[in-house]
Amino acid sequence: MSGRKFYLDRGVGESRAVVTLGGRPERLMIAREGEPAAQALGATVAARVRSVDRALAIAFLDLGEGPDAILNLAPGVGPISEGVWVEVEIKSEARRGKGASARWLGVAHGPGRLLATGPTLDERLVALAKGTPVVGGPAARAAADLAQDEALQSEFPLREGGSIAVETTRALVAVDVDLGGRTGEGAKRAARATNIAALSEAARILRLKGLGGLVVIDLAGRGQDGPALLAAARAAFGPDNPGVAMGPISRFGTLELTIPRRSRSVVEILAADSGAPNALTSAMALLRALEREAVADGGGRFEAIAAPAVAAAAKPFLSRLTDRFGARLAVRAEGAHAGFEVVRR
């Protein structure tokens, strides 16, 4: 993974791992305290079969915490019936409206329990780094903040001109490539260059957001150079293998591909349905802001004034800061605030 740098930011309540490519964030992985370990990618669980749908050839599994997981009743799985205990591995995490996907390992005995945890955030980052040093401290905090801000955006400019927009639906991820108003002589050449750049940028952004499944890329212009663009797409999405599959460019100028969906998307972790940061994301930012002020001013007393939901999400972690900096830090709920601000007391 040449040209990539690796960062690990350890914060109060959460840790964030970042991979950058050419100085720009390419991957963001987040681990928050209190998340159900049985739902994590790679976890091994003794689960109870809650129900079986023979028509769809799937079983719904009670993992003991969080939503039910789905087990495909492929050849070699079984015998399966309601109430039996099975040993499974989580092969893709739950996402909005859909439970985790599990892989059959064998029969088990109750009670339901976590048999083995999945890889930690540190282990996942080290596996990607492959011997490259992992940076911590203030540089990691800055890299993680930048990656998080960019992961919540939906439109991204291209260095060569034009832009891409990334939007998710229940069925697929849509990527729209825009030329930026360039027309006339040279437009076809500009479209080709923009499309090649857009494929590379789309791959980076989808990895950053943690999005997968069916992806449809609406390319710019007409009469695309199919072989060149497919070669560019294979190179751009190569780091997402194994499991990437793509079709030919359609007569409508779209490229369809599927990307394996394993971890819960970063956007789902960070954002509410509106796309804005959710209360817990804002709470984590509040705690980082309090910590920053406490470090910068060793004797200062600071208070974070926040929306009630944000304050409520932050308070369970506040003692971690007061244990370190003393009682000079506080959080106060105030209904008029949409987010939070840190002020001197």
**Is the pLDDT assigned to residue 1 strictly greater than 50?**
no
Query: Which domains does the chain show, CATH number per domain?
Result: 4-35+119-148 (3.30.420.300), 42-116 (2.40.50.140), 152-267 (3.40.630), 277-344 (3.40.1260.20)
- DSSP annotation of 98 reads B
Task: For residue 45, give the amino acid letter.
Answer: V
Over residues 52-109, the pLDDT tens digits come to 999 999 999 999 999 999 999 999 887 899 999 999 999 999 988 789 999 999 999 9
- For the chain, how long is the longest CA-to-CA vector? 71
Over residues 254-280, the pLDDT tens digits come to 999 999 989 999 999 999 888 889 999
What is the spatial distance between Cα 29 and Cα 16, in angstroms, rounded to a whole number? Answer: 6
pLDDT band at 185 (very low <50, low <70, confident <90, very high): low
Average pLDDT over residues 21-48: 96
Average pLDDT over residues 21-25: 93
pLDDT band at 111 (very low <50, low <70, confident <90, very high): very high
**Is the pLDDT assigned to residue 3 strictly greater than 90?**
no
Average pLDDT over residues 158-168: 91
pLDDT band at 339 (very low <50, low <70, confident <90, very high): confident
- DSSP annotation of 38 reads G
List b or e across 139-169, with b for residues whose CB sees 16 or more CB atoms inside 10 angstroms.
ebbebbebbbebbeeeebebeeebbbebebe
Are 342 and 291 a contacting pair, CB within 8 Å?
Answer: no
**β pairing state of 134-135 and 4-10:** parallel
**Is the pLDDT assigned to residue 186 strictly greater than 70?**
no
Residue 91, class by beta-carbon neighbours within 10 Å (0-12 exposed, 13-18 middle, 19+ buried)?
middle
Nearest to 164 by CA among 146, 179, 184: 179
Are 218 and 176 a contacting pair, CB within 8 Å?
Answer: yes
**Is the pLDDT assigned to residue 129 strictly greater than 80?**
yes
Look at 201 and 97; give whichever has higher pLDDT.
201
What is the spatial distance between Cα 31 and Cα 42, in angstroms, rounded to a whole number? Answer: 14
Instruction: Provide the mean pLDDT of the chain.
Output: 93
Average pLDDT over residues 223-240: 91
Token readout for 146 is 């930048």
Question: What is the pLDDT at residue 2?
Answer: 57
Side-chain-side CA neighbours of residue 160 (13 Å): 17
**Is the pLDDT assigned to residue 224 strictly greater than 80?**
no
Question: What is the pLDDT at residue 260?
Answer: 94
